[in-house]
Amino acid sequence: MSELREVISSGNDLAARAAVDAGCMFFGGYPLTPSSEIMHTISDLLPKVGGAAIQMEDEIGGVAAAIGAGMSGVRTLTATSGPGISLKAENLGLAQMCEVPLVVINVMRGGPSTGLPTRVSQGDIAQAKNPSHGDYKSITLCAGTLAECYTETVRAFNLADRFMQPVFVLLDETLGHMHAKAEIPTAETVKKGIVPRKKYEGKPEDYRPYDVAQDEPALLAPMFQGYRYNFTGLHHDADGFPTEEIETCRKLIDRLFRKVEEHKEEIESNEEYMLDDAEILLIGYGSASLAIKEAVNSLREEGIKVGLFRPITLWPSPEKRLYELGQKFDKVLSVELNQGQYLEEIQRAMGRKDIEKLTKTNGRPFSPADIINKVKEVF
């Protein structure tokens, strides 16, 4: 039996279906263009598997409800666009501090503020790195195809439970509303690959959820199962109760970094397209990479050796691979539907400032011709 199935669907619909197939049992959110179809679809699907979807009074209530569900031990989701992430920011910081697993899908649109609600953008890349104040390491995945709207959502749930924190999945208006054929894993295949969060096996009186190795996430037992501990947004001790003890506070924030930083190999995912013999390197992600691939194919027909590096995990960034590529290629072009938010990370990782850029912020997608013309102009 094949482990793949062929479907005709939209990116938003596939993300919702992926969540349910991955074991999500709760959705809390509020409709916001261009993400609303995720809520519509999952509201139909969750009751059929014993789950629940709630439209709250606003974006803040939506993420608060989703975090509460995560505290109870179930896989949980919220979905929105950039303005909704801004509203959810405080509660997302709470989930980072308390180490509550949660998947957050952001279908990006033009900004800032209300911006261009029905148009495409990749303007939330910097926001996804630090969606709330304070020190922590964000995990952000970015779908670049319809199939990845499904597979990256599935992967996000496994990562959320592995690292016990919010995991972001970036779509954009183009991918969210694109309706076409895609090959995705069967639901049975997804279920076989589910990696549940770790469970505490000891005596209740010995349970200390934040007393873990310095490179590991908290070990949170679901609420209402006989274990006593505390959730707080304040710096806290091994039992979760507030503290200002110097060494305890230092070790807590250090661990929030190290639990991700020291396990990046479990998180990183990239695509390399026609790089083996390339002389010019293009870097792009999300729906922009679809136009980049078409441009690569066309340029190669003209004898211009171009290749694509596409980060699928944006944060933490693939800095080691970016450095290697920066040493290999003299000619590098970054392509983004923003003013260059990921370009700053590319420059940092490569250790160089001579990266060419192609940007667009008017709500319209790139055409392959845009990229072809830029390559010929600068190289």
Give the H/E segment covering residue 206: none
Asked if pLDDT for residue 292 goes beyond 70, the answer is yes
Phi, psi of 72, deg, nearest 5 = -80, -5
pLDDT in tens, 79-110: 999 999 999 999 999 999 999 999 999 999 99
Asked if pLDDT for residue 1 goes beyond 70, the answer is no
pLDDT in tens, 152-174: 999 999 999 999 999 999 999 99
Band (224; pLDDT cuts 50, 70, 90)? confident
pLDDT in tens, 357-374: 999 999 999 999 999 999
pTM: 0.97
Domain range 271-378, CATH class: alpha beta
Q: Whose structure tokens read 């997302």?
A: 92
Asked if pLDDT for residue 116 goes beyond 90, the answer is yes
**Is residue 200 classed exposed, middle or buried when 0-12, 13-18 and 19+ CB atoms within 10 A define those classes?**
middle
C-alpha span between 223 and 68 (Å, rounded): 10
Where are the chain's structural domains? 4-192, 271-378
**What's the CATH superfamily of 4-192?**
Thiamin diphosphate (ThDP)-binding fold, Pyr/PP domains (3.40.50.970)
pLDDT in tens, 52-64: 999 999 999 999 9
Q: What pLDDT sits at residue 321?
A: 98
Q: Is 271-378 in the same CATH topology as 4-192?
A: yes
Residue 154's contacts (CB-CB under 8 Å, 6 or more residues apart) are 18, 21, 22, 185, 190, 193
Q: What is the DSSP letter of 205?
A: G
C-alpha span between 378 and 372 (Å, rounded): 10
- Average of per-residue pLDDT across 202-219: 95
For residue 335, what are its two tokens?
């392509």
Asked if pLDDT for residue 194 goes beyond 80, the answer is yes
C-alpha span between 358 and 336 (Å, rounded): 6
DSSP 127-181: HHH-SSSSS---EEEE--SHHHHHHHHHHHHHHHHHHTSEEEEEEEHHHHH-EEE
Q: Which of 100-114, 158-172, 215-229, 255-269 has the lowest mean pLDDT?
A: 215-229
